[in-house]
Amino acid sequence: MSTPATATPVLEARALSAARGGRPVLHGVSFSLHARAACALVGPNATGKSTLVRALAGLLPLTSGGVWLHGRPLSAWTRSALARIVALVATDEQGPATLTVHDRVALGRYPHRGPFRPLTGEDEQAVWRGLRHTGIEHLAQRRLGTLSAGERQLATLARGLAQEPQILLLDEPSAHLDVGHQLQLFRVLHEVRARGVAVLAVVHDLGRAAAWAEHMAVLHEGRLVAEGPPDAVLAGEACSRAFGVAVRRHAVAGLAHPLYSFEEVSS
């Protein structure tokens, strides 16, 4: 069922260029994220994926181009209004070791509460929904310092969910996760999307990205070199060139998604 609303991008980068530490990283990237999208952003290391995600979240000054949210440039949004719509979940940086998971997730309510409003029943429910959806309810009273890296990563995701955004941006959300937690993570992202949230995730594992996403974008040396349905993108020349590998697709009877294998190509 396609409605006109889904045709308009909710978040859009237009000819976006950005630099980090004086070094140009992104060169004229144009990219659209639609409502309810499940989009995987892939690309080799140090190719600008994190920079693009941060630029989309409005955290970086741009050298040219711009980002539009619901058809308005990001600069026209207040910080808190922006934070109520767009959530960023980055690879976990060590938070305070004595902070409890519950309190960490509750900080995700800041865009709704501001500096002074106490935690309301509604906030508290959003916090517990975030904890439940990420499967870490039982860790609510544990301190961050006592968790594994994977558990902390899930707490960061729970914070993003407690923010109740319309757009969820994730920078390598599966970086510290074992295979079980990875499956759980992508199931959570699938459910989040089913509730109407647009999800853009930087993913390293191409096979996992293809299985989860409906749209895949390949970034190479600061340029968007391919995008489209994952199977088509992975079959394409641009993707092979970006990663310097040959991609093979294996359809396996009984599996919903094809498997992919990769081989080095001598350049």
Partner 1 sequence: MSETAASPPRSRRGRWALVLLLAALPFTLLVASVVGSVSLSPRAVINSLLAAAGLPGSPSTLGPQGEAILWSVRLPRVLLAALVGGGLAVVGAALQSVFRNPMADTGLLGVGAGAALGAVLAVRLGLATEVFFALPLAAFAGALTAVAAVYVLAHASGPPSLHGLLLTGLAVSALAGAGTSVLLVATEEFRVKTVLFWLAGGLEGRSWTHVQLAAGFILTGTALLFALSRPLDLLSLGEDEAASLGLPVHAARMAILCAASLIAGAATSVAGAVPFVGLIAPHALRPVVGPLGRHLIPASFLGGALLVVVADIGARTLSSRIELPLGSLTALVGAPYFLLALRANEGRG
Binding of partner 1 at residue 116 (CB under 8 A)? Answer: yes
Per-residue contact track with partner 1, 30 to 59, x per CB under 8 A?
------------------------x--x-x
To partner 1, the closest distance from the beta carbon of 263 in angstroms equals 36
Binding of partner 1 at residue 221 (CB under 8 A)? Answer: no
Reference 84, options 102, 69, 99; nearest CA is: 69
Radius of gyration of the chain (CA): 19
Per this entry, what is the length of the chain? 267
Which whole-number Å values give the CA distances from 249 to 145, 185, 214, 221, in the listed order?
A: 42, 24, 17, 25
Q: Please, where are the H alpha helices in 134-243?
A: 149-162, 179-194, 206-212, 230-235, 237-243
Binding of partner 1 at residue 125 (CB under 8 A)? Answer: yes
Which whole-number Å values give the CA distances from 33 to 37, 46, 58, 109, 189, in the listed order?
A: 7, 22, 15, 24, 15
CB closer to partner 1, 170 vs 226: 170
Binding of partner 1 at residue 80 (CB under 8 A)? Answer: yes
Binding of partner 1 at residue 198 (CB under 8 A)? Answer: no
Residue matched to tokens 């609510």: 140
Binding of partner 1 at residue 128 (CB under 8 A)? Answer: yes
CB closer to partner 1, 108 vs 222: 108
CB closer to partner 1, 121 vs 196: 121
Contacting residues toward partner 1, per CB under 8 A: 54, 57, 59, 78-80, 82-84, 86-88, 90, 93, 95-96, 98-100, 102-104, 107-108, 110-111, 113, 115-116, 121, 124-125, 128, 140-141, 145, 163
